[in-house]
Amino acid sequence: MIRQPKNERQQRLARKRLEQMALQQLHDDFECSPFESRAILEVMSEIFELAWQGPERLKPGQMCVLAVAADEPAGKPLAACRMKPIILTLHSAEDVALRQRVTGRQVIPQLRRAKLQRLAAEALAQDTCLTVEDLANTIFNCGERTLEHDLRTLRQQGTSVPLRGQQADIGRSVSHKVQAIELALQRKLPSEIARRLNHSLAAVERYLADFAAIAHLLAEGWPLETISFVRRVSLGLVREYEVLYQQASTATQRQALADLIRQWAPSGEKKSRASQAEAR
C-alpha cells in the first residue's frame, strides 16, 4: 500500500479540529473544566475507535463484540451495566493443533471448551466479563445448557473460567485483581500468577501496571475519588489497592512493594515511585 502523506496530514488536521470542537462543546454545554473535557473525550475516542475499526485492524479469526465492564457489581441488571467493545479470537492456530491431537467424538466438545477458556481470558484482559448468554447466543450459536455443562466439566478438572457469574461470586474481598497483586507482592512471576488464576498474561501485566500507578498516587496523598477518575478504574478497586498498599508494613513487604512499583511503573515515574514506597 502506497502512503499518501498529504492525505494523512489532512486527516490528522481534521481530527484535531473535531477534537477542539468537542472540547469546546463540553465546556460550553456542560461547564466541564479543560481536564474533565479532555478525559471525557479520550474515553469516548477509545470506545468508538475500537467499535468502528475496519477489517484491516482485526486479525483473521477475530471479531468485535460488546461485553459487560468487569467492575460492574453483582446483581446489577445487565441493561443498566456499562458495556465495552472488545476483540475476541474465535479461531486460532491453537484450535488447529487441538484438532490434530484429539480424534473422534471428543473433538468438538474439547475444542469448544478450549475456546471458552480463551475467550473468557481475552475478555478479562480487556477489563470485561462475558456471560454464558453472550457466548451461547452471540459467539458459539449453541444452547446455554451446553456451555453450562462445559463449565461444570472444566470445574471438575480444576479449571476456573472467569465469566461474569464466576467473577461476581468471588466478591470484592478476594477479587481477581487483588489476588494478582497479593501474589506479586509474594514475588510470584506474572506467568505463574496468570497460570494460578487462569488469566491471560496480558491481563496480569495490566493489573500490575495499574497497581503501580495507583500506589504512586496514594503515596502522593491524592484523594481516592480523584485517583479513580484519573486512572479510569472503579472507586472500589482503588480502595482495595489502598488496603494492600497500607498492609505493606514490614521491611520485606515494603521492599517487595518498591520492587513492584520500580518494575511496572511508567519509565518517567519509576524512580520517584520506588523511593516513595521505600520511605514508608
Identify whether residues 138 and 96 lie together within a single domain: yes
Identify whether residues 163 and 185 lie together within a single domain: no
pLDDT of residue 275: 38
Answer yes or no: are the C-beta atoms of 146 and 137 closer than 8 Å: no
Residues spanned by the domain of 250: 172-279
- Indicate whether 98 belongs to any domain: yes
- Indicate whether 137 belongs to any domain: yes
% of the chain surpassing 70 pLDDT: 79
Identify whether residues 82 and 162 lie together within a single domain: yes
Of the residues 114, 142, 170, the one at which a domain ends: 170
Question: Does pTM surpass 0.75?
Answer: no
Dist CA 150 CA 185 (whole Å): 34
What average pLDDT does the chain have?
79
Identify whether residues 135 and 178 lie together within a single domain: no
Dist CA 201 CA 63 (whole Å): 21
Residue 170, pLDDT above cutoff 50: no
Determine the average pLDDT of the residues in 3-24.
65
Identify whether residues 183 and 232 lie together within a single domain: yes
Identify whether residues 160 and 214 lie together within a single domain: no
Determine the average pLDDT of the residues in 66-76.
80
Pairing verdict, β 83-89 and 62-69: antiparallel
pLDDT in tens, 199-227: 778 878 888 998 998 998 898 889 999 98
Identify whether residues 162 and 73 lie together within a single domain: yes
Give the contacts of 100 (CB within 8 A, at least 6 positions apart): none
- Indicate whether 20 belongs to any domain: no
Of the residues 170, 193, 211, the one at which a domain ends: 170
Identify whether residues 105 and 196 lie together within a single domain: no
pLDDT of residue 107: 92
- Indicate whether 152 belongs to any domain: yes
- Indicate whether 10 belongs to any domain: no
The count of domains in the chain is: 2
Of the residues 110, 142, 170, the one at which a domain ends: 170
